[in-house]
Structure 1
């Protein structure tokens, strides 16, 4: 599976660092400076994992997560933030973020693990959908054969 990550942060240094890091690890990486730019990318590219900041101009990370959950429920979302408050954590939970990692991002191992876990979770659900699709196909075939016998 060629995993596509979208990094959304208004700080260009963070975007660039994460883009380089995850490309080095073999991921296909896209970048956006705010939630609105992110949605434009998501509309044209099949994104698997979003890494987003919370506080950004135009559209913040929580609004982005809410929109993504409504329109693209298979995309896995990870929040990175320097604003650690109870409200932010609860907002992340309510917006179905996989996890919230605090800035500064001095050690990227937690973020790497969060991405790996997100990809595993996505693959799990994709297998479930394939299984369901296969069961429907089998049921249709069996029904078709039974009708042919009549």
Structure 2
């Protein structure tokens, strides 16, 4: 267990269930409020109710992909920050003001990125 839990709302969106379960388990050790979703549409619903500080999302997902999700969240205004996870480097060229983590990702990379964004 982490010595001190950071007070922050984190939303992790990933359609691969095992990956999502493992990452959410780790995030909950370090951050006070962790939410999860299995696709972009569900992620947007969670965003609307939870108003997270940081969204960590895959790009390739069913129903609403990461690009569409970023656009819909930004249309709502607010200061939510994004961390995009993807295996495809060329996909990310059009994403502005998003941190990018290329798969495979480690929890240490995610933690470092989240804490940096929270301290901006």
Measured against the shorter chain, the TM-score band is 0.7 to 0.9
Structure 2: runs of 5+ lacking an equivalent: 1-5
Bigger strand fraction: 2
Structure 1 position 91, deviation (Å):
2.2
> 2:31 is paired with a residue of what secondary structure?
coil
2:63 counterpart (55, 58, 64): 58
Over the aligned positions, Cα root-mean-square deviation in angstroms equals: 1.4
**Which residue of the partner structure matches residue 15 of structure 1?**
20
Bigger helix fraction: 1
> 1:37 is paired with a residue of what secondary structure?
helix
Structure 1 position 111, deviation (Å):
1.4
**Which residue of the partner structure matches residue 3 of structure 2?**
none
1:91 is the counterpart of 2:91 = no
User: How far apart, in 2, do the equivalents of 1:91 and 1:50 lie?
Assistant: 18
Structure with bigger gyration radius: 1
> 2:113 is paired with a residue of what secondary structure?
helix
Please identify runs of 4+ aligned residues in structure 1 that moved more than 2 A. none
**Which residue of the partner structure matches residue 114 of structure 2?**
115
Structure 1: runs of 5+ lacking an equivalent: 122-150
The total of aligned residue pairs comes to 115
2:78 counterpart (60, 73, 78): 73
- TM-score, length-scaled by structure 2: 0.88
Structure 1 position 119, deviation (Å):
0.8
**Which residue of the partner structure matches residue 50 of structure 2?**
45
Between the two structures, name the one with larger relative contact order (CA 8 Å, sep ≥ 6).
2
